Chain A
């Protein structure tokens, strides 16, 4: 079973089961996890699915593309170590379990 844990900025956590190939962004929207918008529909164009991946889960992920890297500079909450766009991280392809923190604003 593939899972993602979303920690919101006020301390709550939500564990979501994910289907193969589904992005963190889509899983968050489908499950009603607050604080993820995904305005562009998953094209790495809007930086409104900003998540901060917990340190122990970062190694397994693919490196940042130039698009993702630059768009993170546009995020409403300043990027941090481990910042990624949720639309670029796919269940099964990039992780089998992951834990992320959600920024206060998208």
Chain B
């Protein structure tokens, strides 16, 4: 090891999926300097997806799934520091300042600060019993509140809200979901898929109120929430309210350090900010759309880990390829497995493959002749094929996708082999 390598220090802010992945990939890509991983939470890094699903099952012991073994960090010479808050990034001095004024020098910095739940600012929103679901502490808190609760109101029919609503309904709770849009998950899903899930949740006994947002909450004399009042004036009894109205990226540190922010920390195709030694990855990063128009910010495990791998690879050795993988997502709601590959846009043409009434179907989204996204319900084969087909011009036609007799799998494998 030469002296300059010895003095190199990579600092990563955030111990979520992207922060941990960045640290691992840095070391595995041959970075020999220090790696300092700074986390605000006291918990060792953990898996986030199960928190709104299996973790809420009161019949099972509460046990988070660690992202890595306890020994992993020491073995990889990663200095994991938990329960520390970064107060500021000093770009001129090349250091970050922690609460308590300690300075941690960096030669490369990765910002992986994630996102925070968007807060409701309406009358009554400070009452107790109104909670969000993002962190392990949130999930632990929710588990405790869930047992004795009977009437549950979920604000927002997004992924987290509906995953939670399904879990609560499966426990026999009386669940109402308020959503101001006219379809669930309307920001992410095609109308056909949104409609399918609306029917599914209603059939499961969830009181799904579409085109009806939250207006205010009323409490009891002890300051606990008792009633949710919707924008239509209807009142719903509520022992527990779970708010899932989206997230805001944690960009404060970057903004205060003078880095451009535009619905996320602005980065280029290599996840690099305006400062060549500072990267941003995961939920907090706004990056050039892989389809070439505008900027996007994604909230998913795949995006977090793939971006972290790419940024760390750049730092450790400068791989040439641009960051442009096929995005994919998943959700499980009341036993229905939704898998999404690619990114659709409003106005895309959609083609159904299979019958929604059968509970097994996919929606293929096209921009002209180009396949942009595939949403699959209990048809994993379509999802797997989609991940191989996406991004290829003229890979498949809308007519082929709509014809269940057409062999999508062979077509995708043949195209994958041609590279």
Contact = CB atoms under 8 A, between A and B. Distances in A.
Contacts of B66: 29-30
B305 A43 contact: no
Interface in A53-86: 66-67, 69-71, 73-74
Given A29-B68, A32-B69, A71-B384, A41 B75 contact: no
Contacts of A43: 49, 53, 330, 332, 337
Contacts of B332: 43
A39 B302 contact: yes
A46 B387 CA distance: 12
B69 A40 contact: no
A38 B66 CA distance: 10
Interface footprint category on B: 20 to 34
Contacts of A30: 66, 69
Contacts, number: 60
Given A29-B68, A30-B66, A66-B380, A42 B50 contact: yes
B276 to A, nearest CB: 30
B339 interface: yes
A41 B380 contact: no
A69 B72 CA distance: 31
B47 interface: yes
Given A41-B49, A42-B65, A71 B71 contact: no
B384 A74 contact: yes
B405 to A, nearest CB: 18
A31 interface: yes
Contact of A32 (B48, B54, B71): B71
Interface in A32-49: 32, 38-43, 45-46
Interface of B: 47-50, 53-54, 65-72, 75, 301-302, 305, 330, 332, 337, 339, 380-381, 383-384, 387, 409
15 contacts: A29-B68, A29-B69, A32-B70, A32-B72, A32-B75, A39-B301, A39-B302, A40-B330, A42-B65, A43-B53, A45-B330, A45-B337, A46-B302, A70-B380, A73-B409
Contacts of A39: 301-302, 305
B215 to A, nearest CB: 36
A41 B47 contact: yes
Nearest to A67: B380
A interface majority secondary structure: loop
Contacts of B337: 43, 45, 67
B383 A70 contact: yes
Given A39-B301, A42-B50, A45-B330, A71 B69 contact: no
A29 B65 contact: yes
A38 B384 contact: no
Contact of A31 (B48, B69, B305): B69
Given A43-B53, A67-B337, 10 more contacts: A32-B69, A38-B65, A39-B301, A41-B48, A41-B50, A43-B332, A45-B337, A70-B383, A70-B384, A74-B384
Nearest to B60: A21
Nearest to B360: A66
A73 B301 contact: no
Contacts of A26: 65
A30 B302 CA distance: 21
A42 B409 CA distance: 24
Contacts of B383: 70
Nearest to B46: A41
A45 B69 CA distance: 21
A32 B76 CA distance: 11
B65 A45 contact: no
Interface string A1-35: 00000000000000000000000001001111000
Contacts of B65: 26, 29, 38, 41-42
A18 to B, nearest CB: 14
| Minimum-distance CB pairs A-B, first 7 | A32-B69, A70-B380, A41-B47, A41-B50, A45-B330, A41-B49, A70-B381
Contact of B339 (A29, A42, A45): A45
A65 B50 CA distance: 21
A39 B6 CA distance: 32
